[in-house]
Structure 1
């Protein structure tokens, strides 16, 4: 259970070496580059117990169309510290994920570290992951969008993420003071913190486009990156709580043109069991800019239907679709990785179905990419 992982200082599980898991390659015509930024917001205190009183700090990855990639190695899917922390926490909240036998640090992306950027203004897309998930679980879609000409910024939300590695190897593990699924107050704090994180990241993207370097350590930026950002076209997508974040950010932040919500509730947990929770403002008021609600068949329940239907009842520019045969984490990189774990005997067929569904991984990846790419191409200039 997730509640078992809501502790300080989780001890990383020791993984048995194995052949690396593989991510599907992007299909666009551009090479993909990636850089990592450490962002610090001196105007905002971190809300979680393990960092109380410290300025809020975030880690983001920026995926972008690259030019020359020779001599720029491909980046790991998870950094060593993040991989260790994720390996320790994942078995508590991802049903059936093995505690040993997976080298999470061995998987490589298709993005080349700090390669020169294609200095042509391109739309920018933010990604917010699900509760406890690292930002890296949005890599498959980020690389696809970047290979097609967009810039994608994936965001960690430290303190509620399984593990976040900062410069110098410092790792911050999940440290929530309770279970947000049963605490409306904590859930509200999570949403509020994520929305503030999103606003701050958008501010830093705009600063970067003006030629400033927002990295806290002044890490040199890839050549041309500042000229690769078109901040007139900003959008956001997210999965789970990240989908909730994306929808509410679209409602609140006028800079965003469009959003995609993957399996994200649009209400708060109820104060009293058996009663409906309060709707988020986006669901209560509706949205005025394009929104795509993408649900997995395995995650659909009365709460999701109620909150999504409330938003759709406003007859705004929002649409809903469902990925049949998929489960909740099938809308992340795990849709490609978990079937590989099953093939190695590390995940049972039943656990695979609960985690990602029973779609062949190629279909799952194609459907996920297709929904997001097509929608953002139409409404966000991607």
Structure 2
């Protein structure tokens, strides 16, 4: 599959350190490649000015879901004893962390933090993002009934927390949502306090991207195994509808979601949010539903050649939607966080257009929530939506590329 300039740039932008380096100002411009080891090591000795103040004075809040329904959440530690870790040869098992969001019986309970101070510090060089507020309650009792499941995979180098706004909204719609940290591809904190950093963030060629895609597909399959296994489940009382499972992700996480569906017949629909494909599509085609939602990816444009090739092998229901005024980071929390902090003007001009485009982060999030929700409502719950059939006046930012 051909290499596109978009992957080279996206790989850099997908590393959280790149975003914070940009926020830190011109004196800490983007490095040639994401750093190995703790991303914070590449930051200047002082934290970015935009994040160095007192976050308690006006901490950002995850935008409220579009559906007013209580949401609970819990973090879970997973160990795949049948698999060696692909990035650490001396590890006999593959350890993962995930967050589960789910419809809750009530809004009572302790509010969960957006991210721990330790992870915020390791990723961004400051604990400030641990002050971001959520609307989710920890370990509150799940709503009764069997819930359809959506598994989320973040961008390369990103924590699972970068998909919090999407996860909260999907959970408020009635889904159980599980977002994975792919160990040694980002900073991960385990229940014993241990913090593991990215071991492969300095390798961003196409060969490594294909390896990451296949490895993440296995991570997703293992998480589905655990969530659908008999017994009390990862969260007591949370019941999963095994016949209604979807997957989605941002950047390489989106390509991994589609690859996971190719490998795993339990996944009924998959959505790719602005991620290039690195694993060749199956010759026989992929007949289950796929949503491609990207930024500056109009059909026929040079950066979309990667999608054009895969598009031909999608033989089932499919849509290709474009956010022409958006950027690569418009489909995760970074865009609305940057706008909330008022620091987008500190992003170097040479990277700002591809990172954020010109659309507001709140509008990009609203559109992503609407189209992603409509996609899974249609294909997991059989609730047709006109939103997926033609351009909508409610979301003029979104174009139908195909």
Same fold (TM over 0.5): yes
- What secondary structure does 1:242 align onto? helix
TM-score (norm 2): 0.78
Match of 1:326 in 2: 326
Consecutive unaligned residues in structure 2, runs of 5 or more: 1-11, 16-31, 384-402
Match of 1:173 in 2: 197
Within 5 A, what are the aligned runs for 1:282-361?
282=282, 284-297=283-296, 305-314=304-313, 315-343=315-343, 347=347, 352-361=352-361
Q: Render the CA deviation track for 1:67-102: whole Å, top value 9, x for unaligned.
A: 1232x12111112222112104xxxxxxxxxxx6x8
Match of 2:270 in 1: 259
Question: Distance in 2 between the 1:169 and 1:301 partners?
Answer: 48
- What secondary structure does 2:373 align onto? helix
Question: Distance in 2 between the 1:61 and 1:175 partners?
Answer: 22
> Contact 1:296–1:328 (CA<8 Å) still a contact in 2?
yes
Question: Distance in 1 between the 2:298 and 2:179 partners?
Answer: 23
**Closer, same or farther: CA 7–230 of 1 in aligned 2, 3 Å:** same
> Contact 2:160–2:179 (CA<8 Å) still a contact in 1?
yes
Q: Render the CA deviation track for 1:296-330: whole Å, top value 9, x for unaligned.
A: 12799967522322232244322211012110011
**Closer, same or farther: CA 290–349 of 1 in aligned 2, 3 Å:** same
Consecutive unaligned residues in structure 1, runs of 5 or more: 89-99, 215-220, 268-278
**Closer, same or farther: CA 342–198 of 1 in aligned 2, 3 Å:** same
> Contact 1:127–1:237 (CA<8 Å) still a contact in 2?
yes
Within 5 A, what are the aligned runs for 1:258-277?
258-267=269-278
2:63 pairs with 1:52:
no
**Closer, same or farther: CA 112–352 of 1 in aligned 2, 3 Å:** farther
Match of 1:141 in 2: 166
Question: Distance in 1 between the 2:136 and 2:268 partners?
Answer: 26
Match of 1:83 in 2: 120
How many angstroms does 1:232 deviate by?
A: 1.2
2:280 pairs with 1:242:
no
Q: Structure 1 residue aligned with 2:231, among 190, 211, 226?
A: 211
How many angstroms does 1:152 deviate by?
A: 0.4
Question: Distance in 2 between the 1:331 and 1:358 partners?
Answer: 14
Q: Number of matched residues?
A: 342
**Closer, same or farther: CA 177–108 of 1 in aligned 2, 3 Å:** closer
> Contact 1:59–1:155 (CA<8 Å) still a contact in 2?
yes
> Contact 2:298–2:324 (CA<8 Å) still a contact in 1?
no
Most deviating of 296-305 and 254-263 = 296-305
- What secondary structure does 1:169 align onto? coil
Match of 2:104 in 1: 66
- What secondary structure does 1:194 align onto? helix
**Closer, same or farther: CA 304–312 of 1 in aligned 2, 3 Å:** same
How many angstroms does 1:285 deviate by?
A: 4.1
Within 5 A, what are the aligned runs for 1:119-158?
119-158=144-183
Question: Distance in 1 between the 2:271 and 2:337 partners?
Answer: 22
How many angstroms does 1:58 deviate by?
A: 0.4
Question: Distance in 2 between the 1:255 and 1:303 partners?
Answer: 34
How many angstroms does 1:125 deviate by?
A: 0.3
> Contact 1:28–1:144 (CA<8 Å) still a contact in 2?
yes
**Closer, same or farther: CA 25–177 of 1 in aligned 2, 3 Å:** closer
CA RMSD after TM alignment: 2.5
> Contact 2:252–2:277 (CA<8 Å) still a contact in 1?
no
- What secondary structure does 1:197 align onto? helix
TM-score (norm 1): 0.82
> Contact 1:48–1:159 (CA<8 Å) still a contact in 2?
yes
Match of 2:188 in 1: 164
Match of 1:271 in 2: none
**Closer, same or farther: CA 81–285 of 1 in aligned 2, 3 Å:** farther
Match of 2:224 in 1: 202
